[in-house]
Amino acid sequence: MRRRVIALAGCAAAWPLAVYAQQLAMPVIGYLGGSSPAYRGHLLTAFWRGLRESGYVEGENVTIEYRWAQDQYDRLPDLSADLVRRHVLVIAATDTPSAIAAKAATTTLPIVFASGADPIKEGLVTSLNRPGGNVTGVGFMSGELGAKQLGLLQRLLPGAVRFAVLV
């Protein structure tokens, strides 16, 4: 009987430690943005939806550390370094300046970016099909692709003199 009481007391004492350890084991994602949450709210919503579709819900089984530069891009290196010190598992960079700052802050943590620029020209990756290093993501290359699209339209409709773009 004494052994059962000691075992029960030991389990009762260890229970809060086990719960605390589980909370510490929750993965932490670093979210780095050059602007503000008000300006990037639609991207945050899409980010949360993507996480949820992958089985992650903020506060339940994943923690997200947000860092916003508030359009003060000179703050991005410090914000990136702060996420690295926080030991996040991955950094989600919402724009090109954030991705560049995150890449400068770490060569080991995975960085996932979304960029309107050419990620090769910006030095984020070495190639599109094999990014290499710790950085990967989506490059929309809107400037380069827009010129190509216009060129294709001109070839398809050689007599057209005006094109309209709806954004």
User: Which CATH number covers residue 88?
Assistant: 3.40.50.2300
- Terminal Cα-to-Cα distance of the chain (whole angstroms): 75
Q: What is the pLDDT of residue 167?
A: 67
- Does the predicted TM-score (pTM) go above 0.75? no
Are the C-beta atoms of 35 and 95 separated by less than 8 Å? yes
On the CB side of 161, how many CA atoms lie within 13 Å of its CA?
0
| pLDDT above 90: percentage of residues in the chain | 54
Would residue 124 count as lying in a domain?
yes
pLDDT of residue 11: 46
Give residue 150's domain range: 26-156
- Residue 6 falls within a domain, yes or no? no
Contacts for 117-124 with beta carbons within 8 Å, 24 or more apart?
Answer: 117/141, 117/143, 118/144, 122/96, 124/96, 124/99, 124/100
Q: For residues 139 and 119, is the Cβ–Cβ distance under 8 A?
A: yes
User: Is 10 a domain residue?
Assistant: no
Q: How many folded domains does the chain comprise?
A: 1
Task: State residue 3's pLDDT score.
Answer: 43
Contact between 139 and 117 (Cβ < 8 Å): yes
Q: Does residue 12 sit within a domain?
A: no
